[in-house]
Amino acid sequence: MSIRSSTVYLARNVVNAPELKAHISARSRARGDSPEIAAWLHNHFYRYLVGNFHSPPEAVQAITTTDALQQRYAAGAPAWALALLARKAGPEPAPSAPLLWWISPAHESVLALERQLLEFLQSRQGTSLEGKLARINCPQALERWAQEHQAFEAQQLAGWRQHQPLAIQAVWQGSQGAFVELLPGSGVLREEMAYESQMMRHCLGQFANRRQLSGGYGEHYAVGCEQGRMRIFSYRTGQGQPRITINAWLQADGRLRIDQIKGKQNRPPIDRYRADVIAFLNQLNTSEDTPDDALGMRLLRTTGTTPGWHAVETLRSEAEHLQIWQRQPRLLAHIPQASPLVQWLVAAHDSSLLAGQSLPPALAFSLEQAGKAPPKMHRGARPGMEEMPP
């Protein structure tokens, strides 16, 4: 019997594999995962990261030289990895693919994937798969998650739920609509969650048992909210029509970590509501974390001279530009003028992101000589020392 490559774990030499496993276990202990879920993550999620995980270069990096490897290990690089690179540098032809990889254990793309898998694993409670998670590997879990979310959109939902006015409380009025919070103590929280999902076509209120409103993905969010660990907000317009759903986890320090910002059918909210989303988030006491959903809206939670939530095109400081470079380089294309330091960093990876920007003459000359000048490149004034990279 043949096994599709998409359902098996691939092999890759990840130099910091022990660190990856340690971070997965530490986060699992901090969350208080059940033993079965903790064991699954320790085994299947770890193996998926090592062999199958692909992400932007800042999360998954190829190590091709001894110098690059030693820069990652001040206390000494692993001997086996040094030996592997030494063989590559020998007289034999160099292999076509990198021999070593390094994966950032706490990169947002890794954490986002872990949250997605947690949602899937916790939603198995009360189903025939409870107690049998070890039979499902990570590629299969991700495939099931995708299939189930597609089914939410395609199927005709049974047991249509009506809006429950007692389940919500208005918390902020915007220019296009208002944010309400779903109240865990209302007694009809789950009914309102089901209504939110029906209108939005996402999994927040998708319960395995639609009559009793229990189990499935909805259980994950309902329990978090009922236990006071999560808050759920809905942006509504007109006659109370849901347009955006935001959920956030309460941290030990009392701040909220924004988890998801979903428009209809799990798409990013439309730009018409973007200003209201920014203003609302700045009313909350949030942590510095920026979820992928916010980045998809071109929003960033900054920590510099103007801490808070901002549209990326309004950010001006070098520290903020560096934060974008580290998290989501593609968003730099929306910045009218990046700082010289960031321009040099970007040029070394993808100069097309600098299209339309005024570049220091030294950088512009270097890109022209390398044949990598971005479209509509402008030369800046004669550079002073502050325009050169450190």
Residues near 103 by Cβ (< 8 Å), separated by ≥ 6? 14, 16, 20, 49, 50, 53, 59, 60, 61, 110
Backbone angles phi, psi at 254, to 5 degrees: 90, -10
pLDDT averaged per 10 residues, the chain (length 390) = 58 92 94 90 95 86 86 80 77 63 91 92 74 86 88 58 93 97 96 94 88 91 96 95 97 96 94 97 95 91 86 84 78 80 80 81 82 66 38
* Strand runs labelled E in the chain: 60-63, 100-103, 168-173, 178-182, 230-237, 241-250, 256-262, 299-302, 308-311, 358-359, 378-379
Let me know: does 247 contact 221? Beta carbons within 8 Å: yes
pLDDT for res 360? 82
Let me know the angle formed at the C-alpha of 22 by 18 and 28, rounded to the nearest 5 degrees. 150
pLDDT for res 378? 57
pLDDT for res 171? 98
Residue with tokens 């903790």: 38
Does an H or E element contain 226, and which? helix 216-226
pLDDT for res 128? 66
pLDDT for res 237? 95
pLDDT for res 130? 66
Domain boundaries, the chain: 5-154, 165-283, 302-387
The count of other CB atoms within 10 Å of the CB of residue 355 is: 12
Token output for 387: 């325009």
pLDDT for res 127? 66
pLDDT for res 4? 39
Percent of residues in the chain assigned helix, strand, coil, to nearest 5: 45, 15, 40
pLDDT for res 20? 95
Distance CA 247, CA 223 (A): 13
pLDDT for res 81? 86
Reported pTM? 0.68
SS3 for 94? coil
Let me know: does 265 contact 202? Beta carbons within 8 Å: yes
Backbone angles phi, psi at 235, to 5 degrees: -95, 120
User: 386 pairs with which residues across the strands?
Assistant: none
pLDDT for res 96? 56
Give whole-number Cα distances, 51 to 82, 124, 139, 213, 336, in Å: 20, 25, 11, 38, 38
- The single-letter code of the amino acid at 313 is E
Distance CA 221, CA 73 (A): 40
- CATH number, span 165-283: 3.40.630
Does an H or E element contain 222, and which? helix 216-226
SS3 for 366? helix
